[in-house]
Structure 1
Amino acid sequence: MLPQAAAAQGRTSRNNRNVDDGSRQSSRRFRWWRKVKQADAAELAAQHPHRPFAGWLYAILFVVFDIITVIVLEVGVSTSSSRVELSNPTGDVGIGFVTKMWRNLNFVFVLNMLLVALLYIALMMLINRFWTATAILLALAIVIAAIEHFKIEIRYEAVLPADLNFLGSNTGNMLTFIPAGAHIVILIALAVYAVLLTLILVLRHFDGRRGKLIRTNNLGLNLASRLIMVLLPVLGFALYCSQVSTTDSWANKFSQAMGDKPSMWDSVYDAQRNGPLVAFTRQLNPSIMTKPENYSEETMKEVAARYESEAEKINANRSNNLTDSTVIYVLSESFSDPTRVPGLKVNKDSMPNIRSIKENTTSGLMLSSGYGGGTANLEYMGLTGLSMANFDSSLTSPYQQLVPSQHWTPTINQMWGAPANSLGYHPYESSMYSRATNYKKFGFSHFYTLTGPDVIKYQDKIDSSPYVSDKSTYDSALEDIRSGKANQFIQLITMQNHMPYHQWYANNDYTAESTTGTPLEEDEQTSIETYQKGVEITDQATAEFLEELDKIDKPITVVFYGDHLPGIYESASKDDNNSLALHLTDYFIWSNKASGTQGEKIDNADYSSPNFFVAQTAEHMNAKVSPYLAFLTEMHEKISAMEPPVVNQIQGWERIPEGQNIYLDASGDPMNEDDFDEATKQLLADYRLIQYDITAGEGYLKNTSFMNLPQ
């Protein structure tokens, strides 16, 4: 054999031996690893003798605990002392929250489940333990349900996003949610949680994997997969919250498709009807206003200076001080003239006294943003001088979506100085539209209602009507007006003529009929005739109220207006051509003899909207104005009335996402924004700047004299 061949053969032989040695070593290592794994498995089996739960079982348990969480939250808002609400359809809350899925094909319960599921998944992936996450989720749900229960018991108000401030510097205020006897609820909550925790621990004991979800030993893969599974549901939940309150957004449409029916006049009913989580998220991120391009501190100082100059010009020709008088705002629930309803014929005039009053003082028609509802929005405009027309269409209820989170809330009553000079009266629930909370923020020292804490004195009702009469409301205010200071601001919100109308009054001789050739339906006719009688009663009570004010030897001015038409004109509302007529109510500004301006009639009063009332009142009283009131005066000279687009249906909580705002000129004719002259465009641009600064901006005007009356 050649030397080279022998050498090659030797190398091959050595390589083969190395391979054999390597194979034997690998085989030994494999056997050792297998023994170790078998030992680990044996040890694990000794520690956890049960088989791991299958994935499908985890899925079922996930849904079960999701359902339990939603039910716990719903129980929190549904077990407090019940109160009769205005428009609560039967079977929509409590057990009906679940059963309406098959009764009405309303799946808002499922919507709440989906939202809870997103949070549930994120929590599970964050800690990578199914059972621990479930225990934490249920604990949080029970704590939240208890807080909801306590707050409803104390204030008849559901937990709102503004309450999250308590988690910061105002934690001590949470004690105000704790009612007497709270220990019983706490003990029940602890008992329920103990039962659920026991169930979780038992199930965990029989689960061989102990709820561990991601089990890979690759640390990088473990963390990456968990991070993704945390971020995706959190992102989905955040996107829903950011969009659900935006009219016509995907989240808003999805929520409606699942059965969400916002009921924002009553936060408790809203939470009961739609689930506390859905009701809560709806208010997290409303779009208030689009930021004007030129908004800045410098711009706002220029605006303030511009109208300070206008105020000086106006005040040069005025001699009175607005706050030397008592000013009373009367928001008369659903008050309007039935004779102006298109296609309707009534047998006699139901408001002769107010018609006579209007003829002898500043008066006209008020453009309302609501039909059959939306009272608080008109009330908000009257108290602030701001217009719903300037807000984004997603902001449907400032009292719920805006005011609770505002740091600066200038209202006209604050011109009267200390809170002791501002009083409110409303013979119904103090919690409606969150009024109790908001009126305190507005600077009212007392807000008298049926439920307190300040209880309205007179609560008489008429015949079988469920609502306190207007006369009782007037009498309650009269006592404080007679005995109070010469200069106060009084806010009256009546309830007598609130829907629905069911043959409440004895000796009702009013009749109504259609002039269109199509007879009124029986229910519509009954409602209209009952409503007419209520208008007559309001008419008489209001005339008597003014007579009593005329006897008081101190200057008093009254601003009286109907907030909207009642939503009972089914025949007229079918015709879109009737939109404007169904959104015009009656108003007047009247002063007593002691004021020195009784019988005054100002120009451009035929049409108005509530945001202009304070400027008109100052003009009627020949009173000096602040730069803000000077601006409103100038604005009203160009645009007599303004509201968002309107619809001929009972006010819901969805606004028209598209369409021009309603602007009326001095003759009541609609105006096109494209046709405005430069002065009107400038005023409207300034209005948006002012409103943005107050509601969504930095509040630069607060540091100026813009809101201050001349000394």
Structure 2
Amino acid sequence: MRVRIQEKWSYTFSRHNYSKRSYALWFFIINLLAVVILQWGINDEHAVLNSWGFVGNIFRGKYAAINEFLLVGVVYFILLMLINRFWLTSGIFFALCIVITVAERFKMASRAETILPADMNFISGGNAGNLLEWMPSDAFQIILGAVILVIVWTAFMMVMGHRDTRGGVVRLKNVWTRTFSRIASAAVAIAILVSFVLSMSSIGGWSHGLITFFGDSPKLWDSKIDAQNNGTAIGFARLLNPKIMDKPQTYSETTMKKLAAKYSKRAQETNVTRTTQATDSTVIYLLSESFSDPSRVPGLKLNKDVIPRIRTIKENTTSGYMLSSGYGGGTANLEYMALTGMSMVNFAPSLSSPYQQLVPNASWTPTLNQLWKSEDSLAFHPYLSNMYSRNVNYKKFGFSKFYTLDKPYVIQPQNTLGTSKYVDDQATYTAVLNSLKKDKNGQSYFYQVATMQNHMPYKNWYPNNDIEATSTNGQELGKSEKQSIETYAKGAQYTDTYTKAFLDSLDKLNRPITVVFYGDHLPGAYKTAAKDENNSVALHETDYFIWSNKASNISNEAAKKAATNSAYTSPNFFQAQLFEHMNAKVSPFIEFLDELHARVPAMEPAVVNKIQGWARIPEGQALYLNNQGKYIDVTHADAQTRQLLEDYKLIQYDVTAGKHYLKNLDFMDIAQ
């Protein structure tokens, strides 16, 4: 009996030479498990099911997991070539994946977002100790489970390694040939990895074409959703190296000094006739989620006017239509342009979302609110703080407090309408009013406010909805589209009522206040209208106005008459229009924006942004509109207009991708 047991034991642990096919099979299995374990870290609900489901989607015609498998597999292969021991490498590789997963899990629990490249800068900047804030309440259990898994996996790899007599993955008798083969293979794989990462965000790049072929669909408004849909490694890699801008041929320190001097002189000339300082007033940038006039949608008719109050406000103050780069999504891009004065037109196609791809790693991002003191810059958004990485970006912008649904600054109240899950506009306005009323000294503030009430989807939220939508072009609206449009239109009607009441309340305050109100994009509810390419411009035009209360001593009617080119605009010009409306002194940068806006009232990039999709069109042309909403062919514009557009590229390149020469030239500052 003892002999039989010994024979059985010896047979079980007998050693043999693994073939290349065996290695390939194990490579496939281990790499697949690595993909699953990495997905586990970013799935905060039904983690096991959703992690395996990500891979299982392949059998349902969704192939994004292949991209993740390839990217993770290249890293695995590089380690194999460097170490040349299959089971040792596999043990180390999988253990690293587990460590990454635990870190992802912790960050997801604390901030509901994945690990971003910007976090690497955070750690390298000496802030590693602050990572403790990522630790959730169940951190011990997660760490214990991870340690047990690593131990079990390591033991299994040791057993497999003991059974394997092959030795190295690369087996060549000559040590120099073997070493060269390994290094060369690793070098080629590293080159492929680097090339993959560098080109995956560049439209036209080989890896971008590859991942798009396998169904990659960036969800850049939320790193968690992007990783859940496209893969943890893919989501991280796409943010590593987007091309920001092409360097202008004339860019140099000398060029930027001359440019700064030119607009500084013109700003001085403008300021002779300007009588106020913008920072003596409270300014409220009010981004109204998806707000636009439904009656302007081609082929659509509603049974009533849902925005009569805002229509009246627009008739009596600086107002018009804003050309939006988004349709159904892209909020943060409009917000970025409004706050910075930079345009998406000038960015490379690979840069689809500055809030995710640019700002977190930027060393300098000048924004309008920085003209006010940091403690006087406040932001309100009745949703999650990590949406579009606002929690990181707003700190860079200089906002001292950011009120959201998350701690530490929790927005109140949080009322909703009907069955909608989103905080309504009345509650958001109340939060801003309460903040203003807390200060009894009449201090001037800058408020960045982004609402959520009219965010997609539109699922028949409002009881007794009396809005009816019909088609006027013979194409009957589908049941789902009709319901979505009517739900959205009812929400717009509520916004109309609440906005008028908000302005009335501001009018009663004894402090100067000016509001820049704009819809960021149209809702993605107009499926029938969106099918017609002739409707493209109409579906990218939202409503905006600039309004001042009585205490500001600004006549809105007079400002409207004096406004130049206000009928059409884009958010990058809001700063210039705001200062014109207030008759406020300008910085050289705002002077530049004012001059450009006079010649090119509105601009938007070649971009498709449908229903929260993100895909730039490299061969498309940017759209420029005149004050009648007609297309401008800037290639045939006069010399002064072309020079202004070239100056814009120089300014934006210096601020976002260049050497920041303008930072020390007072280009963003207003002379007192």
TM-score band w.r.t. shorter chain: over 0.9
> 2:33 aligns to what?
68
Matches of 1:179 and 1:377, distance apart in 2: 32
- Establish whether residue 123 from structure 1 lines up as the match of residue 65 from structure 2: no
Q: Give the superposition deviation at 1:93.
A: 4.5
Q: Give the superposition deviation at 1:647.
A: 4.5
Q: Give the superposition deviation at 1:603.
A: 2.3
**Structure 1 residue corresponding to 2:479, chosen from 519, 522, 525:** 522
Matches of 1:660 and 1:316, distance apart in 2: 39
- Establish whether residue 133 from structure 1 lines up as the match of residue 89 from structure 2: yes
**Structure 1 residue corresponding to 2:413, chosen from 458, 464, 476:** 458
Any residues of structure 2 matched to 1:305-454 within 5 Å, and which?
305-417=261-373, 419-454=374-409
Matches of 1:52 and 1:648, distance apart in 2: 55
Conserved 8 A contact 1:80-1:153: no
Any residues of structure 2 matched to 1:224-263 within 5 Å, and which?
224-263=180-219
> 1:583 aligns to what?
540
Matches of 1:130 and 1:493, distance apart in 2: 52
- Establish whether residue 626 from structure 1 lines up as the match of residue 593 from structure 2: no
Secondary structure in 1 matching 2:108: helix
Matches of 2:262 and 2:378, distance apart in 1: 33
- Establish whether residue 611 from structure 1 lines up as the match of residue 572 from structure 2: yes
Q: Give the superposition deviation at 1:632.
A: 0.6
Matches of 2:475 and 2:634, distance apart in 1: 37
- Establish whether residue 570 from structure 1 lines up as the match of residue 527 from structure 2: yes
Q: Give the superposition deviation at 1:422.
A: 0.6
Unaligned runs of 5+ in 2: 1-9
> 1:222 aligns to what?
178
> 2:148 aligns to what?
191
**Structure 2 residue corresponding to 1:151, chosen from 107, 116, 120:** 107
- Establish whether residue 544 from structure 1 lines up as the match of residue 470 from structure 2: no
Conserved 8 A contact 2:469-2:486: yes
> 1:495 aligns to what?
452
Q: Give the superposition deviation at 1:528.
A: 1.1
Conserved 8 A contact 2:302-2:470: yes
Matches of 1:215 and 1:579, distance apart in 2: 61
Matches of 1:671 and 1:200, distance apart in 2: 66
Equivalent position amino acid for 1:559 in 2: V
> 2:615 aligns to what?
654
Secondary structure in 2 matching 1:94: helix
Matches of 2:155 and 2:638, distance apart in 1: 73
Larger Rg: 1
> 1:668 aligns to what?
629
Any residues of structure 2 matched to 1:229-308 within 5 Å, and which?
229-308=185-264
- Establish whether residue 645 from structure 1 lines up as the match of residue 645 from structure 2: no
> 1:687 aligns to what?
648
Q: Give the superposition deviation at 1:530.
A: 1.2
Q: Give the superposition deviation at 1:507.
A: 2.1
> 1:480 aligns to what?
435
Structure 2 vs 1, CA of residues 654 and 92 (structure 1 numbering), >3 Å: closer, same or farther? farther
Structure 2 vs 1, CA of residues 49 and 648 (structure 1 numbering), >3 Å: closer, same or farther? closer
Secondary structure in 2 matching 1:393: coil
Matches of 2:289 and 2:49, distance apart in 1: 26
Matches of 1:402 and 1:166, distance apart in 2: 15
- Establish whether residue 560 from structure 1 lines up as the match of residue 525 from structure 2: no
Q: Give the superposition deviation at 1:173.
A: 3.4
- Establish whether residue 510 from structure 1 lines up as the match of residue 431 from structure 2: no
Q: Give the superposition deviation at 1:176.
A: 3.2
Matches of 2:607 and 2:161, distance apart in 1: 57
Q: Give the superposition deviation at 1:92.
A: 10
Conserved 8 A contact 1:576-1:648: no
Equivalent position amino acid for 1:474 in 2: Y
> 1:212 aligns to what?
168
Matches of 1:445 and 1:66, distance apart in 2: 44
Q: Give the superposition deviation at 1:704.
A: 1.1
Q: Give the superposition deviation at 1:637.
A: 0.5
Secondary structure in 1 matching 2:459: coil
Secondary structure in 2 matching 1:588: strand
Q: Give the superposition deviation at 1:272.
A: 1.4
Matches of 1:574 and 1:468, distance apart in 2: 31
Q: Deviations over 1:657-698 (max 9, x none)?
A: 112211111211110011111111111101001100111111
Equivalent position amino acid for 1:661 in 2: A
Q: Give the superposition deviation at 1:49.
A: 6.4
**The 10-residue stretch of structure 1 (639-648 or 346-355) with the greater mean CA deviation from structure 2:** 639-648
Matches of 1:135 and 1:535, distance apart in 2: 57
Matches of 2:188 and 2:468, distance apart in 1: 62
Conserved 8 A contact 1:92-1:100: no
Q: Deviations over 1:613-649 (max 9, x none)?
A: 0110001001000101111111111110111125584
Structure 2 vs 1, CA of residues 462 and 92 (structure 1 numbering), >3 Å: closer, same or farther? farther
Q: Deviations over 1:472-516 (max 9, x none)?
A: 000001111122352100011011111111111122111111111
Structure 2 vs 1, CA of residues 203 and 92 (structure 1 numbering), >3 Å: closer, same or farther? closer
Equivalent position amino acid for 1:583 in 2: H
**The 10-residue stretch of structure 1 (682-691 or 514-523) with the greater mean CA deviation from structure 2:** 514-523
Secondary structure in 2 matching 1:221: helix
Q: Give the superposition deviation at 1:64.
A: 1.3
Secondary structure in 2 matching 1:590: strand
Q: Deviations over 1:38-84 (max 9, x none)?
A: xxxxxxx9xx96222222111111111111111111111114699xx
Structure 2 vs 1, CA of residues 450 and 236 (structure 1 numbering), >3 Å: closer, same or farther? same
Matched residue count: 654
Equivalent position amino acid for 2:297 in 1: V
Q: Deviations over 1:430-478 (max 9, x none)?
A: 1111111111111111111112331101100011112110000000011
Conserved 8 A contact 1:93-1:273: no
Identical counterparts, % of pairs: 51
Conserved 8 A contact 2:564-2:598: no
Conserved 8 A contact 1:582-1:648: no
Q: Give the superposition deviation at 1:651.
A: 4.3
Unaligned runs of 5+ in 1: 1-44, 83-90
Matches of 1:428 and 1:535, distance apart in 2: 19
Matches of 1:219 and 1:424, distance apart in 2: 63
Q: Deviations over 1:146-198 (max 9, x none)?
A: 11111111111111111122452323333332233322211111011111111
Structure 2 vs 1, CA of residues 225 and 476 (structure 1 numbering), >3 Å: closer, same or farther? same
Conserved 8 A contact 1:374-1:651: yes
Secondary structure in 2 matching 1:345: strand
Conserved 8 A contact 2:36-2:51: no
Secondary structure in 1 matching 2:97: helix
Any residues of structure 2 matched to 1:85-124 within 5 Å, and which?
93-103=50-60, 105-124=61-80
Conserved 8 A contact 2:227-2:234: yes
Q: Deviations over 1:548-592 (max 9, x none)?
A: 000000100000000011111111111111111111110000000
Matches of 2:37 and 2:583, distance apart in 1: 59
Matches of 1:241 and 1:412, distance apart in 2: 33
